């Protein structure tokens, strides 16, 4: 699915694409997942969880509503 879920400023996308190219990182990984500015939220939540941070603390860091379904169900990549 290539339809964006969020509006991201074009300038930010250009900077990310430039930096990925400079670092030699392909736009898509071996699973077919695209690197975009939003993927860093997935990385943040996953690394916090791997470090033993509780769901409630991760939810606050991610600025999510009190229910954990968004934090645990959408952003966590086990």
Q: Evaluate whether residue 70 is within a structural domain.
A: yes
Q: What is the pLDDT of residue 15?
A: 92
Q: What is the pLDDT of residue 4?
A: 63
Q: What is the pLDDT of residue 21?
A: 95
Contact 39, 33 (CB under 8 A): yes
- 72 lies in which domain range? 35-78
pTM reported for the whole predicted model: 0.60
Number of structural domains found in the chain = 1
Q: Evaluate whether residue 71 is within a structural domain.
A: yes
The alpha carbon of 60 is separated from its chain's Cα centroid by a whole number of angstroms, namely: 16
d(CA 64, CA 16): 24
Element (DSSP H or E) covering residue 30: none
How does DSSP classify residue 28? B
Output the tens digit of pLDDT for each of the chain's 78 residues. 566 666 778 898 899 999 999 999 998 888 888 888 778 888 888 899 899 999 889 888 888 777 767 776 676 777
Q: Evaluate whether residue 46 is within a structural domain.
A: yes
Task: Provide φ and ψ at 63, rounded to 5°.
Answer: 60, 45
């Amino acid at each position: 699915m290539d339809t964006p879920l969020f509006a991201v400023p074009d300038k930010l996308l250009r900077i990310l694409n430039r930096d990925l190219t400079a670092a030699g990182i392909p736009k898509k990984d071996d699973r077919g997942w695209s690197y975009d500015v939003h993927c860093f939220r997935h990385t943040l939540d996953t690394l916090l969880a791997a470090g033993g941070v509780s769901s409630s603390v991760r939810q606050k860091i991610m600025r999510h509503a009190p229910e954990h379904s968004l934090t645990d169900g959408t952003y966590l990549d086990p």
